[in-house]
Structure formats: C-alpha cells, structure tokens
Amino acid sequence: MSDMKRAAQALVATRTERFESLHPLAESRTRLDAALARMRVVHDGRFVPHWREEAGHAVLEGEFLPPRGVQGLLRALSVLMALLVVASGYVIATVHEGSLRFLLPLATLLAILGLPLLTLGLSSQREALESRVRRAIRVALLDADEKFPPPQRWADED
C-alpha cells in the first residue's frame, strides 16, 4: 500500500486508543483537562474521551474522530475532478481555436496533481493534532516529562 493511500485512509478513519492512568478518576479528568488547555488543544469534537475506573485507577479510552466535513469535501472534489475531465475532453474535441482549449485541460491536470497533496496535508494536520493530544495524555495521566518524547522500546528488547 502506498504512503498516499495510507494517509488518505487515515484521514477518514476513526481510531480508539486506551490509556491507563496512575491517578484516581476525578484527579485524572482534571489533570487531562488542564494539560489539554496548557497545550492549547482545541475541543472541536475530534477527540472524545470515555472514562472508566478499573482497580482504583482511571482508564481513558480516547476516540479520535475524523474532522467534520472532510469526507464530504473529498467526495465533492472527486466529482469536480470528473466534471473537469469530461469538460476538458469536450473542449479538446469541439473547440478548434482559443485559449480555452489549452487552459481547461491544464487546469484539470493541475487539479489532478494537487488533490493528493491536499489529502496528504489534511492527513498530516490530523496526525499533528492527535500527537498533541497523546502528549497531553502522557503528561497528565502517566506523569511523563512535557518536553521529551516517550521512551522508545524496540522489538528485540525484553
């Protein structure tokens, strides 16, 4: 699977991640809210927390939703691309002179080349937001250091 296809699928997918807290439920909620506010994460409905309590510790199941309207935007752009291709074919077949014969197919080509870049940009923006939310969760629930990334564990380590 290509990276572009993977990025496009990640843009419209819903992901759920589980985080176990070192603190009780009420304290975990307030710590997470404070960490999200400190990191300036906007509450726009893309991250939905579901809290539970297991063995005296809070468990957060965070649901990362795709941005509102992105699927509709991608569908509308796809329909627009199809119309541009049909219009370009019609102009090439029927118009014998004028700048429209050159400019419409050129605009169609540029739009076809630009759509993957737009999709990649939107996917990258979503990944950045989710990364900031994950960092806020690590800081709030696991007492991780705010300035450093989490420690790496490799597959060959015990």
- Decide: helix, strand or coil at residue 112: helix
Q: How confident is the model at residue 37 (pLDDT cuts 50, 70, 90)?
A: confident
Report the distance separating Cα 44 and Cα 88, nearest Å. Answer: 39
Question: Which tokens in the block code for residue 138?
Answer: 């690590």
Spell out the domain ranges in the chain. Answer: 7-67+129-142, 70-119
pLDDT at 158: 59
Regarding pTM above 0.75, the answer is yes
Q: How confident is the model at residue 89 (pLDDT cuts 50, 70, 90)?
A: very high
Q: How many beta carbons lie within 10 A of that of residue 36, not counting itself?
A: 20
CATH 3.30.70 given to domain 7-67+129-142: yes
Question: Which tokens in the block code for residue 82?
Answer: 């199809």
Q: Higher pLDDT residue, 103 or 144? A: 103
Do 62 and 49 touch, CB atoms closer than 8 A? Answer: yes
Q: How many beta carbons lie within 10 A of that of residue 73, not counting itself?
A: 14
Flag the least confident range among 77-81, 87-91, 139-143: 139-143
Mean pLDDT value of segment 123-138: 89
pLDDT at 142: 83
Mean pLDDT value of segment 43-51: 84
Report the distance separating Cα 80 and Cα 156, nearest Å. Answer: 49
Determine phi and psi for 14, rounding to 5 degrees. -105, 125
Query: What single DSSP character describes residue 33?
Result: H
Q: Taking all residues of the chain, what is their mean pLDDT, rounded to a whole number?
A: 87
Q: Higher pLDDT residue, 57 or 15? A: 15
Q: At what angle do helices 100-142 and 25-38 cross, to 10 degrees?
A: 140
